[in-house]
Chains A and B, each alone.
Chain A
Amino acid sequence: MNAPKPAEPASDFAPWLDPAQAPLIRFENVTKKYGDFTAIDNLTLDIYEREFYSLLGPSGCGKTTLMRLLAGFEVPTKGRILISGEDISAIPPNKRPINMMFQSYALFPHMSVAQNIAFGLKQEGKSKREINARVDEMLSLVQLEPFANRKPQQLSGGQRQRVALARSLAKKPKLLLLDEPLGALDKKLREQTQFELVNLQEKLGMTFVIVTHDQEEAMTVSSRIAVMDLGKVKQVATPDIIYEQPNSRYVADFIGDVNFIEGAYIKQSISESDTKLQHFQSSSHGELVAQGEIELSADEKAWLALRPEKIEISKEKPGFTNNCIKGKVWDIAYVGNTSTYHVQLSDGTFIKAQRVNRNRLRKRRITWEDDVWLSWHSDAPVILTK
């Protein structure tokens, strides 16, 4: 793993870092209430053109409401939604340059595949020739030409998903909303389709907003991820920053697996190689060190967040003494390519350490009840305060 560098996202595409860029979509202090229940709580965010933007969160976090606000099925209680600088809060869904792919696909069962794709174009009052040309184009885009005259019920799940995609792309919307687009597909097909979606999005140069509760899916497809909880956005960042530099325990815990070590911040020091080192006093495992910038005062309560795959597990005490804890193997979760060791520490808490099974299982040197040392590079952890 590379060192986390928050200022540099993985790809060159980063309009959100350029102050001169105007966002395609802007949520301005948007609140949505259903009676007493606040689904979206004073939310502000920007989505730029050509982004593949993920709304990620557990069910009930408001991600679907956010999408329905964009599509126009819901009207914000407070705040404004702008598209290219124009307020669309009061514009009905049929007048918005936005199309949506529904979770259930919502294909019209009484129409053929071609009629489904043509539906939006027909509403625009386009000529028959234009409509047919566009429908053919969309059918070939999703490789469904032989099925143009089939009814949706005559198609497999994967094919229906592509009809839904073709239908929502047919009108060339400024923004495409995808509500759990791959939720109904099986795992293998879902993984393939994720890549196909990204390729399609890049090829068409369109802006996609995807709602998902599947963090792997969000990590795979997104330019940026907005992690949501209880109607608020917890963090918006590129997948690598979300993973390597989460800003809260919630985000760290939601994306991937993580260990938290409770304690307090002590001080900052500069190492010989001129890197900043943050010193952290854990409650029961002594002083630990983490790299990186942080604005904290001494004795402030904090947590060290540590990804399992960044922890070394060994039977012998490692050479360097920083960041090293002793424990006993409590359990081993073997999933084929990796094994996760659940190690119990002296204070009774557990830490998960993950290893890639490069060797055959029978050559495993560490087993149940072994005394082991857990160690990690000072680059690995992140200090969090909330």
Chain B
Amino acid sequence: MNINRFSWFNITSLTLGFAFLYIPILLLIVFSFNKSKLVTVWGGFSTKWYSSLFQNEAFMDAALMTLKVGVVSATFATILGTLAALVITRAGFFRGRTLFAGMIYAPLVMPEVITGLSLLLLFVAIGWDRGFWTITVAHITFSMCYVAVVVSSRLVTFDESLEEAALDLGCTKFSAFFQVTLPIIAPSIAAAWLLAFTLSLDDLVIASFASGPGATTLPMKIYSQVRLGLKPEINALSTILIVIVSIGVITASIVTKRATMKKRFYEQQANAQTALHRCSNSIFKRYYNNCPKGGT
């Protein structure tokens, strides 16, 4: 049966779907270059909101704060989450294993408001001044479980005989981890770090609960600004964020694509060798000498 992939129905639904997804974002980008002070009325092209954004210290401080929180919390969450993943996948069966694993994954489904509120109560109870560190700790708490999920999904397929081989060849358990396990699972740890970093950048709810007077993250700043009325500066800021995220996503997909192509190339190379292999009489002879021209 020949299905017309470019029927009017398909084209219309495709257009509507993408319009629904991207017209708001496009509008936002377009209006960030608006000369007029009114957000919804086009008054000509200008980049003045970008320069005024960079001169707005409150925004810049919030951006810096967000980055700092993101880097620190992602790093700690990655370390803790990786350790948790190692325990879950490696420790075998022990009493309370399911409970333990469940407790690590629970924050994934916990409503953010609950997490934020409970952390606020904790910080108040122990009398910790709210600010940079409380936001960071809160972010570590909830992004750690995402890290654990990402890293443990890699560890499940990790061939443990690789570590045993390292031990067998003279490594201690500690150096086997750093010389063999860590380099092999590094890509998934990097991915987990990026995920934790993005989650931290993105978070409004938990940060609002955990922050104090001196510390405002970018999402919090944007939210409070918008409540006072839309400013074209916000459009400019959002556009910058969109560009940064797009660059990140595109880079990541290019890297993945390249890795796949490299892997395919390796496999082809290995297969070619197998073919050459077959036509040699003994496997301990050189391959190329023995092969008739034109392969097998």
Contact = CB atoms under 8 A, between A and B. Distances in A.
B155 to A, nearest CB: 15
A266 interface: no
B167 A93 contact: yes
A196 B286 CA distance: 14
A120 B263 CA distance: 27
A143 B284 CA distance: 6
A192 interface: yes
Contact of B170 (A94, A102, A108, A188): A94
A153 B266 contact: yes
A123 B164 contact: no
Contact of B169 (A110, A120, A162): A120
B286 A120 contact: no
Contacts of A100: 164-165, 168
Given A93-B164, A104-B159, A158 B283 contact: yes
Given A99-B168, A154-B270, A196 B283 contact: yes
Interface string A93-126: 1100011101110101110000000011001100
Interface residues of B, number: 32
B164 A102 contact: yes
B261 to A, nearest CB: 13
B266 A106 contact: no
B254 interface: no
B183 interface: yes
Contacts of A196: 282-284
Contact of A94 (B168, B184, B267): B168
B277 A189 contact: yes
B267 to A, nearest CB: 7
B171 A94 contact: yes
Identify the interface centre among B172, B183, B283: most chain A CB within 10 Å of its CB.
B283
Majority-rule SS of B interface residues: helix
A142 interface: yes
Interface in A134-185: 142-143, 151, 153-159, 162, 167-168, 171
Given A154-B266, A157-B274, A94 B283 contact: no
A250 interface: no
Contacts of B184: 108-110
Nearest to B182: A110
B274 A153 contact: no
Given A102-B161, A104-B159, A106-B165, A124 B267 contact: no
A156 B273 contact: yes
Contacts of B274: 156-158
Contacts of B179: 119
Interface string B251-293: 0000000000001001101110110011000111110000000
Interface string B170-207: 11100100011001100000000000000000000000
Contacts of A103: 161
A286 interface: no
Contact of A108 (B162, B168, B263, B283): B162
15 contacts: A93-B164, A94-B167, A94-B172, A100-B164, A102-B164, A106-B159, A108-B184, A110-B183, A119-B166, A123-B170, A153-B270, A155-B270, A156-B274, A158-B274, A188-B278
Q: Across the A-B interface, give the 7 residue pairs with the lowest CB-CB distance, nearest first.
A: A123-B170, A120-B169, A106-B165, A156-B274, A156-B273, A106-B161, A153-B266
Given A102-B164, A154-B269, A196-B284, 13 more contacts: A72-B168, A73-B164, A73-B167, A92-B172, A98-B168, A102-B161, A106-B159, A120-B169, A123-B175, A143-B283, A158-B274, A158-B283, A159-B273
